[in-house]
Amino acid sequence: MKTKKAAVLVLISLIVYLSVFTLATSAYAEQTVGVKEGDWMEYDITVTGTGSMPPTHDVRWMRMGVLVVDGAAFSVNVTARYANGTLGSAIWKFNFTEGNVEGWTIIPANLSPGDTFFDYYSKPTNVTIQREEQKTVLGATRAVTYGNDSIRQIKEWDKATGFFIGSVEVAQNHTDENGWYYDNLTVTCRAVATNIWGRQILGLEQSVFALVISGLVLGVVTLVSALIIWQREKMTTLSLRYPLLAKRAIPAVIIVGVVVLGATVIPAIWMDMGLSNAAVNLIMQSFWLSLILVSMGFRKTSKYFVHWFLIAAVVIATLVSFASVIMMWSPSDSALGGYISSPIKIAELVTHSVLSVPAIALGVWFIALWYPNTTAFPARSKRIVKLMVILWVLSYIAGVVGYILDYTTLLLVY
């Protein structure tokens, strides 16, 4: 009898053990990956306090881009800009089942307060989500969760994806596993850009809103200008009523006013609405392209001065814009990492440059061909302006495609 009772107790213990093990394993297996291939997040990092960071960890900007997702495992391309301005990159391997969460940078999705995730970095432990709140993050309302430990004073995650969006880590009188001593340092990290969601304007995500506005700008400016060209006889009559004005003064004043409005007022309006620099640039490029197309309409009607003046205004405005970007750029600019963070980004940069630089150069050549009372300008500029317009249009298309790839999910290629 004692033997049977012992056997029953062993059997019950084994069943209980297996049940607990199965439930624990199921809990980890059920924790889902909320990121997908192509998702990325960029961060600015500040370090304050006394002492210094290890050179290999003294990062000021970081970009995390998800590469391949396979069940509970996935890989992330991490690009970092260090305090000395150099760039580095590495592939991080995540696996939620095994507890590889890489310093809590990406955790399982849709965890609520009281839920836990497994971290097997130095000592296996279950990390508990402490609280949740609705918060505006990069222009959109997101559910944000929080957690912490002795080093990570604050860690914030986007609940739907598990991507961390901010952290405050304090190392005071601390020696890490590599023997580096931290005196009293505070490292603050904040998300500054992502393609996972966009700032919402009028119910639309920022990226989609910018595309819609760009299409409207291109269409409306071209249409209105076409109507003006068709009504050129009325403009001629108007100029004859005021003989003190040169025939070319009225269109020149109109053009200058439009260009000044486009170059100053329009960007300010969009930025006040919360659009990013990339979105504003897309809208402005649509505005410039519309003026170039309009100029070709004036050329068709033999209004060569207006044709030349429009293109000259656009080319000069573009050169001024490029010059201002170059003057403000520095080797430590965090945006540099975004341009070379992946093969597709490099391809976008090269393609856009190969098309836009020759287009601008041809535009400068086109401007130089004009001089007062010239009669040779139409013939001399014909091939140059055609090639310039073709390259400008192709450059614009490349820019739009690049914008869609970088800031929307309409073409999910990374």
174 plus 208 within the same structural domain: no
Q: Does one domain contain both 308 and 354?
A: yes
Cβ–Cβ < 8 Å for 367, 312: yes
In this model, does residue 232 exceed pLDDT 80?
A: no
Using the predicted structure, report yes or no on whether residue 195 has a pLDDT greater than 60: yes
Say yes or no: 401 and 275 in one domain.
Answer: yes
Tokens of 257: 């006013």
pTM value is: 0.50
Which of the two residues, 118 and 219, has the higher pLDDT score?
118
Which region among 110-114, 161-165, 291-295 has the lowest average model confidence (pLDDT)?
Answer: 291-295
Q: What is the mean pLDDT of residues 101-121?
A: 91
20 domain-assigned: no
Which of 6-15, 173-182, 277-286, 372-381 has the largest mean confidence? Answer: 372-381
Q: How far apart are CA 262 and CA 204, in angstroms?
A: 23
pLDDT band, very low/low/confident/very high, at 145 (cuts 50, 70, 90): very high
**230 shares a domain with 121:** no
Same domain, 161 and 233: no
In a domain, 155, yes or no: yes
If asked whether residues 42 and 170 sit together in one domain, one would say: yes
Domain that holds residue 301: 200-407
Structural domain ending residue among the three candidates 194, 223, 257: 194
One domain, residues 247 and 125: no
Least confident of 5-9, 149-153, 348-352: 5-9
Range 331-336 average pLDDT = 46
Q: How many CB atoms within 10 Å of residue 10?
A: 10
Within this chain, do residues 390 and 306 fall inside the same structural domain, yes or no?
Answer: yes
Quote the pLDDT of residue 373.
Answer: 74
Asked if 180 and 212 sit in the same domain, the reply is no
Whether 9 is in a domain gets the answer no
Number of domains in the chain: 2
Task: Give pLDDT tens digits for 211-227.
Answer: 777 777 777 766 766 66
pLDDT at 115: 93
Residue with tokens 């000395």: 84
CA distance 357 to 378: 24
CA nearest to 197, candidates 160, 170, 235, 147: 160
Query: Considering only 24-33, 137-146, 159-168, 320-329, which range has the smallest mean pLDDT?
Result: 24-33
Percent of the chain with pLDDT over 90: 28
Kindly state whether residue 3 falls inside one of the protein's structural domains.
Answer: no
* Residue 141 vs residue 379, higher pLDDT: 379
Q: What is the pLDDT of residue 272?
A: 58
Instruction: Please say if the pLDDT value at position 57 is more than 70.
Output: yes
- How many angstroms separate the CA atoms of 32 and 50, rounded? 40
Residues 188 and 212 in one domain: no
**Phi then psi dihedrals of residue 51, to 5 deg:** 95, -165
The answer, yes or no, to whether residue 240 has pLDDT greater than 50, is no
| Stated length of the chain | 414
Q: What is the CA radius of gyration of the chain?
A: 30
Structure tokens at 276: 């990013």
Residue 242: which pLDDT band, with cuts at 50, 70 and 90?
very low
* CB 385, CB 377: distance < 8 Å: no
Residues 53 and 165 in one domain: yes
53 pLDDT above the threshold of 50: yes
Of 168, 194, 220, the residue at which a domain comes to its end is 194
> Are 280 and 352 found together in one domain?
yes
Above 70 in pLDDT, residue 141?
yes
Q: Is residue 45 part of a domain?
A: yes
In the predicted model, is pLDDT for residue 374 greater than 80? Answer: no
Q: Does residue 286 sit within a domain? A: yes
**pLDDT per residue over 198-210, tens digit each?**
666 665 666 676 7
Does residue 10 carry a pLDDT above 60?
no
4 belongs to a structural domain:
no
Q: Is pLDDT of 230 > 80?
A: no
Among 301, 312, 291, residue whose Cα is nearest residue 370: 312
The answer to the question of residue 19 being in a domain is: no
Q: Which of 194, 223, 252 is the last residue of a domain?
A: 194
